Amino acid sequence: MKIQYQDSTITIFESALYQTTSTIINLEKFILIVDPNWLPIEISTIQSYVEKIRNSKPIYLLFTHSDYDHIIGYRAFPDAKVIASEAFQNNPEKEKIIEQINNFDDENYILRNYPIEYPKVDIIVSGDFQKIEIENTALVFCQAIGHNLDGIFTMIPSLGIFIAGDYLCEVEFPFIYVSGIQYLQTLEKAKKIINQYEPKILIVGHGPFSKNKKEMLDRIKEAEKYIFEIILSIKNKTPFNLDFLLKRYHFPKNMIPAHEKNLEILEKELSET
């Protein structure tokens, strides 16, 4: 499995699928695993790596949000404690998410040596800038809504780590499954986090990390620009420049329907305000 980034504390694995990341953080008193994902061989690489560095420390699993690709490896770490948002815990669509995993495995003839289940949350986070001490390390959480309904941002201030889930990804424009307006508010929060905590590293759900503050802020600007351009094109009834957008991003087969979905959601939102 590709290792996208590694230092003495952090390892970012990158799946062959959608460049989805699985991050392992080796803290003093515990191992934090973020969104272990996708193929069985990738999950088993992550398991072996964790066993190798673990030193009998407890494992905590952090789920950035409940999209099925991010929770697919849950039961591969059966003794882990789970950290996720209150909305994640109360997600009314748990069954649908499990069905998406089962469909994916079915379509691709994938067998797994662990059961597929929706995560049970042990440490529930809610609200913004909520600080929780885990095994003597402070973690700070913010709600991150817009992409989906139950996302969280996680900061580990002592290590300068900012885990943003599917926001601020360099490989894709914002995928708005819930609300463009809330997405913009979440981007504001990300800006606040970056300016307040000056993270040394930004880890995202798909594609490359960043260690550069300007690049982190530029990713926010680019996401905002994209959403504002959609809003303008709806308000002015002018066409959105899709060709220009697709020059910047690869994989048009996925990007075009994602953009159309974004348009649909924003049109609905704007017609309600």
Q: Binding residues for Zn ion, per CB under 5 A?
A: 67, 69, 166, 205
Kindly tell me which of 27 and 163 has the beta carbon lying closer to Zn ion.
Answer: 163
| Sole residue written with tokens 């289940």 | 117
Helix (H) or strand (E) holding 5: strand 2-6
Q: Is the dihedral of CA 59, 10, 76, 95 positive or negative?
A: positive
Kindly tell me which of 172 and 194 has the beta carbon lying closer to Zn ion.
Answer: 172
At closest approach, how far in Å is the CB of 205 from Zn ion?
5
Dist CA 100 CA 106 (whole Å): 10
At closest approach, how far in Å is the CB of 238 from Zn ion?
31
Kindly tell me which of 26 and 66 has the beta carbon lying closer to Zn ion.
Answer: 66
Kindly tell me which of 14 and 166 has the beta carbon lying closer to Zn ion.
Answer: 166
SS3 label, residue 177? coil
Dist CA 31 CA 79 (whole Å): 12
CA angle 173, 107, 109 (to 5 degrees): 120
SS3 label, residue 32? strand
At closest approach, how far in Å is the CB of 266 from Zn ion?
20
Single-letter code of the amino acid located at 57: K
At closest approach, how far in Å is the CB of 135 from Zn ion?
27
Kindly tell me which of 80 and 169 has the beta carbon lying closer to Zn ion.
Answer: 169
SS3 label, residue 233? helix
The answer to whether the beta carbons of residues 142 and 129 sit under 8 Å apart is yes
Pairing of strands 21-26, 137-144: unpaired
Kindly tell me which of 42 and 134 has the beta carbon lying closer to Zn ion.
Answer: 42
At closest approach, how far in Å is the CB of 195 from Zn ion?
26
SS3 label, residue 123? strand
At closest approach, how far in Å is the CB of 4 from Zn ion?
15
